[in-house]
Amino acid sequence: MKGFADTRSRARAIIALVVAILVAATLVPFATSAQKSSPVTVIVSAAISLKDALDEIAKLYEAKHLNVTVSYNYGGSGALQHQIEQGAPVDIFFSAAEKQMDALQAEHLILLPTRRDVVRNALVLVTPADNDTVKDFSDLANPAVKTIALGEAATVPAGMYSQQTLQHLGLFDGIKSKVVYAKDVRQVLTYVETGNADAGLVYRTDALTSKKVRIAATAPEDSHDIIVYPLAVLNTTKNEPAAREFEDFMGGPEAKAVFIKYGFAAPPIRD
């Protein structure tokens, strides 16, 4: 009888062990799922010219990733670069020019494998919709044009491209006295929309957002540096997996369709 009892005890112990293993195996996926669903906020410092497209992209992404909130910090790319250098808690930087991204890369502040060119843009000359005085860049020298709005060349990529274009066309020195500078490209657009400037240089995508301005001319592509928007995850991110996943999404087909909708073009193919 004792041997039989020992056998039953061993059998019970084995059954208990098997049950424990099965329960543990069942709970692991739940634990992993709970961990994955922990709420996370991805902070993106992005050029203000991307605002309309990125706001829509965030809604698409958040609808598929219920645990992720995308928070944007919009501004001039140069100002955003300086914020990052000073330790701003940012996960992703999306610049309107290579200059600012190159600076952060030189300071080892980005995860280099995540850097990618996402879209490109064009530079256009705009006037108030009811003003047909300006039909081309050469008309900026006309005495009837009193004020020309540009972004700050040192901190606003659109301002840098604008100055390059005006210098290339031999116009900048002659119109410098008419120039008023803005903190970002959207402020340039506002100056022209409100009539506080007779003309301004903005991205084509910005001009397309407003019915209050008219595109008078497009800057020749060879008059300025290529207008490309690079994106990268920062190496100071506290949410690297989520940031990398959103970075991948912004280079995917759904985001591409939104960018095209707002007038952006595909980035150039690098050698």
Is residue 9's pLDDT more than 70?
A: no
> For residue 4, what pLDDT band results from cuts at 50, 70 and 90?
very low
Assigned superfamily of 123-223: Periplasmic binding protein-like II (3.40.190.10)
pLDDT in tens, 118-164: 999 999 999 999 998 999 999 999 999 999 999 999 999 999 999 99
Other Cβ atoms closer than 10 A to 172: 17
Are the beta carbons of 150 and 189 closer than 8 angstroms?
A: no
* 80, 214, 225 from 120: Cα distances, Å: 19, 21, 11
**Alpha carbon distance 173, 176 (integer Å):** 5
Are the beta carbons of 44 and 55 closer than 8 angstroms?
A: no
> b/e map of 76-106 (b: 16 or more CB within 10 Å)?
bbbbbbebbeeeeebbbbbbbbbebbebbbe
Q: Stretch 199-228: mean pLDDT, rounded?
A: 97
**Alpha carbon distance 145, 137 (integer Å):** 11
> For residue 240, what pLDDT band results from cuts at 50, 70 and 90?
very high
Q: Where are the domains of the chain?
A: 40-118+229-261, 123-223
Assigned superfamily of 40-118+229-261: Periplasmic binding protein-like II (3.40.190.10)
pLDDT of residue 10: 59
**Alpha carbon distance 165, 225 (integer Å):** 9
Which residues are within 8 A (CB) of 86 and not within 5 positions of it... i.e. 6 or more apart? none
**Alpha carbon distance 158, 62 (integer Å):** 30
40-118+229-261 and 123-223 share one fold: yes
Q: Please tell me the least confidently modeled range out of 20-34, 135-149, 153-167, 195-209.
A: 20-34
3-state SS assignment for residue 150: strand
pLDDT in tens, 84-131: 999 999 999 999 999 999 999 999 999 999 999 999 999 999 999 999
pLDDT of residue 31: 38
**Beta-strand runs (E) in the chain:** 40-47, 68-75, 92-94, 116-120, 123-128, 148-151, 179-182, 199-203, 213-218, 228-233
Are the beta carbons of 124 and 204 closer than 8 angstroms?
A: yes
Q: Please tell me the least confidently modeled range out of 26-40, 118-132, 245-259.
A: 26-40
**Alpha carbon distance 193, 116 (integer Å):** 33
**Alpha carbon distance 221, 119 (integer Å):** 15
